[in-house]
Amino acid sequence: MEAVVCENLVKTFTAREKSGFFRGSRKTVKAVDGVSLKIRRGEVFGLVGPNGAGKTTTIKILSTLLIPDSGDAWVNGFNVLSEADRVRESLGLVLSPDKGFYSRLTGIENLAYYGRLYGLDKSSAVKRAKELVELVGLGDDGLRMYDEYSLGMKAKLSIAKSLIHDPPILFLDEPTIGLDPLSARKIRQMIDNLVKQGKTILLTSHNMWEVESLSAEVAVINKGRIAALGTPNELKQKLGLVYLLEVEVLGNGEFDSGWRVEAGERGHPVIHVESRRPSEDLPEILEKIRRQGLQIGFVRVHEPSMEEVFARVVAG
């Protein structure tokens, strides 16, 4: 059974447009337009798309914060409309890494507050809050007021909040946004560990490398619709993205390859080949060089990135 299923979700909002002091009109904006997804248990599912594409709206529908105009969705087997409380019990949510807490409460007090909202008694909530503060690396900072936290500390507390009732499913909406590289790396390590513990994670991010390195499957959403869906490799193949192979050739002899050759940084010729099947093309190139009695300086394989997938799907 899938952890999350949604079928044909549609959500529209009414936007106000002003022209002058009082004159204005209303415009209907379709934020989500027929989104269908299935997320397997124990995996990270990446949901990427440009700003305003419908990622957060989809997450808010799945977390029962918004009621869809049409379509249906199930989280952990429970319907988001008719079994909303069971859905809420099943998932942990990070909507923004730097929001959601009482500024005049400490990290532990904030976590305990949410723990009690999720049904823990006070002593269990405080105990769990202290465990989570250690788990996410906040340590003694758990006793500091939230308004003294740095962005990285707030992000860690958000992850801890999402785990307070030990849910099987987590929705993490841009959990590393605005974080420095080290803090972002810690959050990614946390996500990786959570998946190893069997959690299912729906992750959105604008960091394509992050999505690619963490996600088993990725959906690209654009203008409210799922524009592409598959594993990162499947998406690259579907879009016909090519690998770039670079081979530096050493030696004094004349080199006749038929490939594009340019002078490299070290002054030696470097072969540049675009390939869809690098595992077949690369041995052929190396063999040809050897047959001509030349040596190989270096070999580089540039893999097409999720950023290229994103650009191709969104920009066309």
Partner 1 sequence: MKSLEKFLAVFEAEMKAYVREAGPLVFMASFPFFFSLLTYGVGSVLSEGQASPRDWFFQLIGFSVMTISITMASATAWYFRRGMITGRLEYTMAAPVNPIIIALASSLAHVAVALMSFIVVGFVGVLSVYGAAHLLNLTAALLLVFIALLPVVGINLVVGTLTIVMKEPEPISSTVSAVAAATSGFVYPITMLPTLLQLVGKTLPYFYVVETARSLIDGYFEATQLTNIFLMLAYLALGLAVYRLGENYYARKVGVHW
148 binds partner 1 (CB under 8 A): no
Minimum Å distance from CB 64 to partner 1? 7
Decide: 214 and 48 in contact? Cβ < 8 Å: no
> Among 99, 97, 93, which residue's Cα sits nearest to residue 177?
97
Instruction: Indicate the residue among 126 and 286 with the shorter CB distance to partner 1.
Output: 126
Instruction: Indicate the residue among 125 and 220 with the shorter CB distance to partner 1.
Output: 125
**Across the beta sheet with 243-250, what order do the strands follow?**
260-263, 269-275, 243-250, 295-302
173 binds partner 1 (CB under 8 A): no
58 binds partner 1 (CB under 8 A): no
Minimum Å distance from CB 302 to partner 1? 40
Instruction: Please give the structure tokens belonging to residue 302.
Output: 């540039």
Minimum Å distance from CB 96 to partner 1? 5
Which residue is it, tokens 């906040």?
138
Q: What is d(CA 220, CA 228) in angstroms, rounded to the nearest whole number?
A: 5
Instruction: Indicate the residue among 95 and 184 with the shorter CB distance to partner 1.
Output: 95
Minimum Å distance from CB 208 to partner 1? 25
65 binds partner 1 (CB under 8 A): yes
156 binds partner 1 (CB under 8 A): no
Instruction: Indicate the residue among 149 and 243 with the shorter CB distance to partner 1.
Output: 149
* Residue span binding partner 1 (CB under 8 A) among the ranges 44-52, 107-115, 134-142, 263-271: 107-115
Decide: 57 and 33 in contact? Cβ < 8 Å: no
Minimum Å distance from CB 152 to partner 1? 18
149 binds partner 1 (CB under 8 A): no
Count of residues of this chain found to bind partner 1 when the rule CB under 8 A is applied: 34
256 binds partner 1 (CB under 8 A): no
117 binds partner 1 (CB under 8 A): yes
Minimum Å distance from CB 20 to partner 1? 20
122 binds partner 1 (CB under 8 A): yes
Decide: 89 and 96 in contact? Cβ < 8 Å: no
Q: What is d(CA 18, CA 3) in angstroms, rounded to the nearest whole number?
A: 43
Interacting residues with partner 1 (CB under 8 A) = 13, 60, 63-67, 85-86, 88-89, 93, 95-96, 99-105, 109, 112-114, 116-122, 125, 161
